[in-house]
Amino acid sequence: MSCSHIFITLTILATFAHTFSTKTVPKQRPFTKIYAFGDSFTDTGNTKSFTTSGAFHFAQNPPYGTTFFHHPTDRYSDGRLVIDFLAEKLSLPYLPPYLDENADKTHGVNFAVAGATAIGLDFFLRNNATLLFTPKSLKNQLDWFVEFSGSRGCINSSTTPEQCKALFDGALIWIGEIGVNDYAYTRATKVSDETIRDLAVTSVTEFLQVLLNMGAKYVIAQGMPPTGCLAFSMETYNITDRDEIGCVGSVNDLSKIHNKILQQNLRGLREEFPGAVIAYADYNNAYRYVMKNGGDYGITQLYKACCGAGPGEYNFNILAPCGSSSVSTSCTDPSQYINWDGFHLTEAMYKAISEEFFTKTAIYPSFRHLLEHKMQSMN
């Protein structure tokens, strides 16, 4: 690399850093669009289109959205999610849900849908699983993506190469957490956790292979959070089943092993697709960091849900969920809580996690590395 080339690269990076800090729209953005997939941790409104019957169809009611948007947006939180903070970080608009036909999708689309599983639906039906939700799987999200690609003229990378290249040009792929629902739906069945783990991780891996084969170049896959820390788990499991951060140990162990296998598979994908940057977002450790250092973020309530009902210690009652007629208000200060409704997290927690991801180093390789790699590829 010549000196002038280095100089240009550094100048661009410096300009880029500057424009970020002043919050104006940079002339040259590293990424111009995001395609997101996942479940309720990432969904920005796709579930709105379904009339669901389970306990968790209340995200369309107050007090969801109370902190940031000031009205419900069908996000499962009081405000922004990690995907929203990612959009802000990249100076892009918040991602519209795929099913919003009128939305401007120039800067990307969100295919994530609450209740989604990694494993295909027929598996759950065959095994008599209790589906808590109108179910969609990663397979449905892939079908939507293919439909979306087709609408942009990308039918087949051999026959419509230009359109397919344009689809992925400047695109960052965010695979939000997916898997939590797979375990949840099969809790009361004979299916073992090992079976769920193997099928779920394989499904995510194959999904990534399809996207990478189609031409995806920058991918971030998010692991599972420590689900044993959700108010739902704390309320449901025996008080003797606790780990070093005070959460349900047996449940957190499942997340840990799941993430370990997922990371092994990501390493395999990096070898298979050396031209792509495939990063892992360590949701589990970022969450644990906040559990141990909540004070850094003004968080004081580690276990209790902000929006819910008693009588239990965790302000969680599955029969009286947040947003239902009996629970139309939340705690006074959601910014001090990790848990929003017992299953999902507060904006404050998503913000803290985003800080760990996008400013610190809870993504491997780091988010900064990803941006620099992208900027260099543009020269």
Ligand X SMILES: *[C@@H]1O[C@H](CO)[C@@H](O)[C@H](O)[C@H]1NC(C)=O
User: Who's near 93: CB < 8 A, 6+ residues apart?
Assistant: 87, 104, 107
CB of 53 to ligand X, least distance (A): 20
CB 66 within 8 A of CB 330: yes
**Residue 159 contacts ligand X per CB under 6 A:** yes
**Could you say which of 156, 192, 264, 300 contacts ligand X (CB under 6 A)?**
156
Could you say which residues in the range 53-92 bind ligand X, by CB under 6 A? none
- Selected catalytic residue, list 233, 330, 341, 354: 341
Q: Least distance (Å) from ligand X to the CB of residue 303? A: 18
C-beta closer to ligand X: residue 128 or 264:
128
Find the shortest distance in angstroms from Cβ 156 to ligand X: 4
Specify whether the CB–CB gap between 62 and 74 falls below 8 A: no
Residue 229 per-residue DSSP state: G
Clarify whether 253 is annotated catalytic. Answer: no
- If one asks whether residue 379 binds ligand X (CB under 6 A), the answer comes out as no
4 binds ligand X (CB under 6 A): no
CB 241 to ligand X: min, Å: 7
Kindly tell me which residue out of 24, 28, 128, 359 binds ligand X, with binding defined by CB under 6 A. 128
Q: Which of 127, 163, 209, 366 binds ligand X (CB under 6 A)?
A: 127
137 carries an active-site annotation: no
Instruction: Give yes or no for residue 158 binding ligand X (CB under 6 A).
Output: yes
Task: Count interface residues toward ligand X (CB under 6 A).
Answer: 8
Q: Phi/psi of residue 150, each to 5°? A: -60, -40
Out of 2, 4, 102, 238, the residue judged to bind ligand X by CB under 6 A? 238
Q: At what angle do helices 82-89 and 347-354 cross, to 10 degrees?
A: 50
109 by DSSP, 3-state: which?
strand
Q: Which one of the listed residues 39, 40, 78, 233 is annotated catalytic? A: 40
Q: In this structure, are residues 96 and 110 in contact, taking their beta carbons and an 8 Å threshold?
A: yes
Using the rule CB under 6 A, is 190 a contact of ligand X? yes
- Shortest Å, Cβ 356 to ligand X: 33
Q: Which residues contact 340 (CB under 8 A, 6 or more apart)?
A: 76, 77, 78, 305, 306, 307, 322, 330, 334, 346, 349
In the complex, the smallest distance separating the C-beta of residue 190 from ligand X, rounded to whole angstroms, is 6
Residue 162 as a binder of ligand X (CB under 6 A): the answer is no
Does residue 208 contact residue 281 with C-beta atoms inside 8 Å? no
How far apart (Å, rounded) are the C-alpha atoms in residues 337 and 304?
A: 7
- DSSP per residue over 5-64, as a string? HHHHHHHHHHHHHHHHHHTSPPSS-S-SEEEEE-STTT-SSGGGGS---STT--TTSTTT
- Rank residues 5 and 187 by Cβ distance to ligand X and give the closer one: 187
Residue 151 is among the residues annotated as catalytic for this protein: no
Taking alpha carbons only, the member of 267, 224, 253 closest to residue 364 is 267
Q: Between residues 14 and 210, which has the closer beta carbon with respect to ligand X?
A: 210
List, by residue number, the catalytic residues.
Answer: 40, 341, 344
Can you give the binding site for ligand X, defined by CB under 6 A? Answer: 127-128, 156, 158-159, 190, 238, 240
